[in-house]
Structure 1
Amino acid sequence: MVTQLPIQTAEIIYPDSDGQLMADNTLQYRWIVTIQGGLDSLFQNDPNVFVAGDLLWYPVEGSNVIRRAPDVMVAIGRPKGDRGSYQQWREENIPPQVVFEILSPGNSVKEMVAKHNFYRRYGVEEYYLYDPDKGDLTGWIRDGEELPEIEQMLGWVSPRLGIRFELSQGQLEIYRPDGEKFVSYVELARQKEVVQQELEQEKQRAEQEKQRAEQAEEELETLRALLAQKGINPDEL
């Protein structure tokens, strides 16, 4: 009798890095951070919206070569929290519904076609591509098994995210549903500084008004005292 030993299969490792740079230049990096930060802020109070930047997404269990790392991705219905990668079978098999790519001079046409095919095949509902050097914005939205291009992106409102896309002087502008614009951390810090300066100015104006009121009250009391010395009742004047 021959006893067969159980066959041991090697555990599949899903690397957290693909060895690629997050960005090729400062402009691309700034846009990635601005969009990721803006979306994170937009959904900060929703515990079931996961936003990530440059995170590897593995859509198929058992394959560590089928993967992409969108510049920004949003998975609605998944809890917030840190991850080394987005392994879809561990996420209730929910793919990221929305992805963003920021084009750089190093991206080839072949690479971008492959990304579109990947997102179409593995369930992305909305895909947005922005070229900050040319000011070109392109979008695709799911229609059944396909991911056709959106005809008009100016003024387009994302069905999933509620954000609105505009182009001003060749630059992308993204607006929240409340009308607030996505801004970089530097712009955000500048806005905060302006608000703090306005608050400080308002505080100084209030203090000056208080001092003027106190001075007027002192002058009035001095006048009342002088009238009283002369036997005049100021309340009868």
Structure 2
Amino acid sequence: MSTARPDPRASTMYVDPDEPEYPSSDGRPMAESTTQFRWIVTIKEGLDALFAAYPDVFVAGDLLWYATKGDKTDVMAPDAMVVFGRPKGDRRSYREWVEDGVVPQVVFEVASHTNTPQEMAEKRRRYDARGVEEYYFYDPDSGELEGWLRRPDGLRPIKADGWTSPRLGVTFDAPRRKEALVILRPDGRPFRTFGELAKDEEAARRIARAERRRRRRAERMALEEGERAESERLSRERAQRRADEESRRADAEARRADAERLSRQEAEARVESERLSRQEAEARAEEARRRAEMMEARLRELGIEPG
């Protein structure tokens, strides 16, 4: 596993292509409590500040991560993630095929009161399957910090308290219930809490921008949902019109078939009538011939030669 830090002299910035078919939200809130939100922001903003001078390190919080192009169900939403080798910049979502196939190397999850062990185990399994190198799970209520590091056979648990991340260079101090988690930068300074960040003017601006982006994203989603609903309504109307047209064509075809059947029956009746008429005429002619022959025979019997 590489422990090399990125080159701060890099200057490439990311331009996110517009792929609206991949939703930018899963409809769930970023956090389910102020405690969870505070820790998500603390971790994400601390990582942002740590790598602020490195344009090729992308840090995100609560961003949908799509792993497979064409499969919108293969999606994850880490509370925080760090991607080395990808430029900074705004994104509606993180799509691996747009990001040169780079998998986020470090992922954080902060527990909420609704999380179940089965749910978190499934998240860890999916992160493992995607190739995440380091995975950290923090429960603010219990103070428990768990960590996993990628080994040749996949993600394996580590003793997180006192652990220094190979990728991030940060050290975790997890005293459990006695005190809150402390994340120390390589220079020994701790990550600042949400309240501390709010006092910092630059951090406050970042938080305000993030909030504006979230609002705009919510507005876009509402607009897109309205447009989708209108598109579906128009599609249903078009489908109904096509069905009505098909029904009219079927009725017209049935009427044509009935008319042709009646025409055939009338033609057959005319042919039969003409045949009967010919038979009657032939019968009358035959009867006239027999009477003529009988009359000639009678005249001969009387000695009269028919003339």
Q: TM-score, normalised to structure 1's length?
A: 0.73
Q: For residue 49 of structure 1, report the CA deviation from its aligned partner.
A: 0.2
Aligned positions of 1:126-205 closer than 5 A: 126-150=134-158, 152-168=159-175, 169-188=178-197
Q: For residue 188 of structure 1, report the CA deviation from its aligned partner.
A: 4.3
Instruction: Classify the secondary structure of the residue corresponding to 2:132.
Output: coil
Aligned positions of 1:198-213 closer than 5 A: none
Contact 1:32–1:102 under 8 Å retained in 2? yes
Greater share of residues in helix: 2
Aligned positions of 1:60-71 closer than 5 A: 60-71=68-79
Aligned positions of 1:1-237 closer than 5 A: 13-150=21-158, 152-168=159-175, 169-188=178-197
Poorly superposed stretches of 4+, deviation over 6 Å:
none
Sequence identity (%): 53
C-alpha distance in 2, partners of 1:12/1:71?
Answer: 22
C-alpha distance in 2, partners of 1:17/1:74?
Answer: 19
Change (3 A) 1:17 1:190: closer
Larger Rg over CA atoms: 2
C-alpha distance in 1, partners of 2:153/2:128?
Answer: 7
C-alpha distance in 2, partners of 1:86/1:110?
Answer: 25
Number of equivalent positions: 181
Contact 1:70–1:99 under 8 Å retained in 2? yes
Change (3 A) 1:12 1:184: closer
C-alpha distance in 2, partners of 1:189/1:146?
Answer: 38
Contact 1:175–1:181 under 8 Å retained in 2? yes
Instruction: Classify the secondary structure of the residue corresponding to 2:43.
Output: helix
Instruction: Classify the secondary structure of the residue corresponding to 1:112.
Output: helix
Instruction: Classify the secondary structure of the residue corresponding to 1:29.
Output: helix
Q: For residue 84 of structure 1, report the CA deviation from its aligned partner.
A: 0.4
C-alpha distance in 1, partners of 2:75/2:122?
Answer: 11
Give the gaps of 5 or more residues in structure 1.
1-10, 193-237
Q: For residue 191 of structure 1, report the CA deviation from its aligned partner.
A: 8.3
Q: For residue 154 of structure 1, report the CA deviation from its aligned partner.
A: 1.5
- Give the root-mean-square deviation of aligned CA atoms: 1.7
Give the gaps of 5 or more residues in structure 2.
1-18, 202-307
Larger displacement relative to structure 2 (56-65 or 40-49): 56-65
- Tell me the equivalent position of 1:207: none
C-alpha distance in 2, partners of 1:66/1:144?
Answer: 24
Q: TM-score, normalised to structure 2's length?
A: 0.57
Contact 1:48–1:76 under 8 Å retained in 2? yes
